[in-house]
Amino acid sequence: MTSRRAVGVWGAMAIAAALGAACSASKEVGPGATVGATSGAGAGSGDAASTGSGDASSSDISVGIGAGGGAASSGAATSGAGGGDAPEDACTVCVEAGGTCTNGVCTIIDDDGKLDAGTKSALEGGGNGDASFRFVYPYDKTVFARGLLPPTLQFEGSSASAVYVRITGASYDYKGWFKGSSPLRVPLPPKAWEAMSLAAGAKDPIKVAVTKMSNGKVAGPISETWTIAQGNLKGTIYYETYDSPLAGGPLSVGIMRLDPGALQPTVVKKGCGNTCHTASADGSTLVSSTGFVLNSVSYDLKKGAATMKVQPDQSFTYGGLYPDGKFLMSSTNYRTWAGLPSRLYDTKTGTKIPVASWDSKVTNGGTPSFAPDGTAIVFNHEDTGGGHTLATMGFQKQGLVFSNLQDIANDPTYFLGWPAFTPDGKRVIYQAGTKETFETNDGAKGDLFMVSPVTKKPKRLELLNGYSGNGSYLPANDPQLNFAPTVLPVAVGGYFWVIFTSHRSYGNTLASLDNNGQNGKLWVAAIDIDATDGIDPSHPAFYLEGQELTANNLRGFWVLAPCKEVGQGCKTGDECCGGYCYEVDGKVQCQPKPDGCAQEFEKCTKAADCCDPSAECINGFCAIPAPK
């Protein structure tokens, strides 16, 4: 019996200075240093919360599982608008959260019994005891995805002895009572967060209302709304870190990997010079500097990051990898020290590949990046812009032919760097900053922008950067601290997803420009798939839980995991080398192409290949935009 279902530098520096920076300098250009770290969601939150199922029998709370198509049955995910790739039965998750589930309706209360009935009643009644009480994290109107660690709610205002959290939506109603803390932080219970994220529909924003008690006075509720994208974030993020306890503590340098939803990162490489990296979109290849950052190296990620080739120069440093990792375009001047011309290199042999269509047109191309489908390249066009211009060229892998050199963005004031294509190849996200280092420490400023190579009309990503109206909605009023964006190569839950580094504050846990501006952190934001010139397609960003809290975490490259062969277990088609994942004889595995249309995340060449009529074929996979 066979059945099928979707499963679901710059910087010419003296060599001595470079060597000194490589292992000890507390800078982000080249290896840097920060001190100490803790890891995991909600680290440093003190006694902000205690969890437990409490007396669910007394609750009037109901969570409608799957309302709005938000959750799938056990096993594979459903496809279609509002569908997701939830890996577990939503009722099972509800029960694991301490609730009960009857006829698809879940009842959840988080109450450990530490608050008396009078306190709880007062909290439910609300009050105005603290005018300074407000959210400082997460941000209002954030778009989260499924499969993430829960956010830690963080607040401004006086300390609290007790907190009441109520989260409601069209299909659920959650109540949680917690002991307070100073400063006030409330980590949401993981299983309750998971149950809520599975229950939330694509058109069902959730409202989060919080009330606190301090010295007998009640303040709140204060509230904001979030949206849950209908899919689990995929892939792996490779980033560089300094002073990571996992990589060796103070003065350590390394490259880490972190999967969305993981409790902590894993060390990929460590030691002096293992920085200045990029990774290929298919997750097969990593390149970086090495040996006091004067040499560079390629690693095979399919073989435990085994060394493939060590280069005697910086030709691999910040190289723009082709999606399959077989070759790269070297980066020049901006972000490297040697001043080598930008040329194509084989990542396995280190051989320079002559390409007349590039070599005759471009000498210096900074921070280059190929489109996820490999049909274009974008880079800082140093030859004409001196750091202030981005350009693209088309690319054909067969014959290695570049074509149609064009400048797509120019800013006479700001330096433009870190360009990255969206999965459909229609837009480029990049940083515009005040320094040629393309970073935001040491007094530098920078925001992220988006531009179409066709219309060439740059648009600042207002909500991602922290702007609202004529000001900033960020609690510390600290926009212009963002850089180094990369984009997940596939759409998930109706959105594109960008990861970037920022020196902004993280709620009441980390101050703006933490550690004298040397500690960067990784943030993630959703981008609407069908962007229109002049309209901001971004959403407020969220802190990537799981990264080490006090380490300096920079330049996350978001790639897919290496693909799986037929017969290997999978959840969705984009995990498979052939592009299809479905159930055969009770086993959900990568399979050959079946008859019929393609489900969400399965392989396509055009939108008509996809089963859902609203789907688009993006980077070779069926993707369903979020409903408007």
Of all residues in the chain, what percent carry a pLDDT higher than 70?
A: 84
Lowest mean pLDDT among 21-25, 132-136, 429-433, 567-571: 21-25
Give CA–CA dist 602/609, Å, rounded: 10
Give CA–CA dist 37/547, Å, rounded: 9
The residue from 519, 539, 559 where one domain ends is 559
pLDDT at res. 105: 67
Q: Is residue 598 part of a domain?
A: no
Q: Is the pLDDT of residue 24 over 70?
A: no
The number of distinct structural domains making up the chain is: 2
pLDDT at res. 21: 37
Mean pLDDT on 139-157: 97
Q: Is residue 339 part of a domain?
A: yes
Mean pLDDT on 411-424: 96
Reported as a pLDDT band with limits 50, 70 and 90, residue 41 is very low
- Do residues 464 and 496 both lie within one domain? yes
- Do residues 211 and 291 both lie within one domain? no
Mean pLDDT on 267-295: 89
Contact assessment for residue 500 and residue 482, using Cβ atoms and an 8 Å cutoff = yes
Mean pLDDT on 482-509: 96
- What's the CATH number where 152 sits? 2.60.40.10
Mean pLDDT on 475-498: 96
Question: What range defines the domain where residue 525 resides?
Answer: 15-30+233-559
- Do residues 412 and 335 both lie within one domain? yes
- Residue 617, both tokens: 């074929």
- Do residues 457 and 347 both lie within one domain? yes
Q: Is the pLDDT of residue 73 over 90?
A: no
Q: Is residue 607 part of a domain?
A: no
pLDDT at res. 72: 31
Q: Is residue 22 part of a domain?
A: yes
Written as one string, the DSSP assignment of 135-197 is EEES-TT-EEEETPPPPEEEEESS--SEEEEEEEETTEEEEEEEE--SS-EEEPPHHHHHHHH
Q: In what order do the strands lie in the sheet with 278-279?
A: 278-279, 285-290, 295-300, 306-311
- Do residues 328 and 388 both lie within one domain? yes
- Do residues 134 and 250 both lie within one domain? no
pLDDT at res. 39: 39
The residue from 202, 230, 258 where one domain ends is 230
- Do residues 153 and 280 both lie within one domain? no
pLDDT in tens, 83-95: 333 334 667 887 8
pLDDT at res. 337: 60
To which H or E segment does residue 290 belong?
A: strand 285-290
pLDDT at res. 419: 97
- Do residues 532 and 441 both lie within one domain? yes
pTM of the model: 0.87
- What's the CATH number where 466 sits? 2.120.10.30
Q: Is residue 260 part of a domain?
A: yes
